[in-house]
Amino acid sequence: MKDKKKIIGSIIIVFILAVFTVIGYVLSKPEKANIKEEEIFVENVKSTKKENVKLEKEITVYVNGEVKNPGVYKLKDNSRVEELIKISGGYTSNADTCKLNLAKKLKDEDYIYIEKKGGNNGGADNSEVSTNSVIGADGKIDLNSASKEELKSIPGIGDVTAQKILDYRGKQGIFKNFEDLKAIGRIGDKTIEKIKEKAEIR
């Protein structure tokens, strides 16, 4: 009789343990699933952030002339001229703002030159000249698109010669090579060698 009670008691205990084991197993499955879902979500968020970082391309542009803080600036790709003017401190009181296209999108290595009021940039529209890459990647100034002030910054070119270069461009078109500079007068081989150090023809 006692043996039967022991057997029945053992069976009940085993049954109860089995029930708790099954319940524990069932309850633990959703938790694991939730953990996996959270891990997947975190991974997706990380991937999205990495993609966004890659998409946020930067460009480097140079602004000079009549702005308060001329220099090289980094902006987001497709930024506009207006944003560059703002981060460079805004215009000086002498800036010619009439012809500048503030809505124009900037490109990497663009050079923006803000003219003085009444300044001469060779008869070209300031909205076009200002957004050309006047300074190349090597730091040299393009004789075919530089303004008068930019030309004067080149060794061997003073105020008179700079104006003659602008006049030549207005009448004859672009310079094809450095030898063409001799056509404007007052420029010899030695001067041309000096100019070549800081200028190029594109």
> What pLDDT, in 10s, does the model give residues 56-84?
788 888 888 889 888 888 999 989 989 99
Q: Which residues pair with 61 in a beta bridge?
A: 73
- In whole angstroms, give the CA distance from residue 146 to residue 113: 9
- Given a contact cutoff of 8 angstroms between Cβ atoms, the answer to whether 131 and 101 are in contact is yes
Cβ neighbour number for residue 110 with a 10 Å cutoff = 22
- Given a contact cutoff of 8 angstroms between Cβ atoms, the answer to whether 157 and 132 are in contact is no
Least reliable range by pLDDT among 53-57, 112-116, 191-195? 53-57
In tens, the pLDDT along 170-181 reads 788 888 899 999
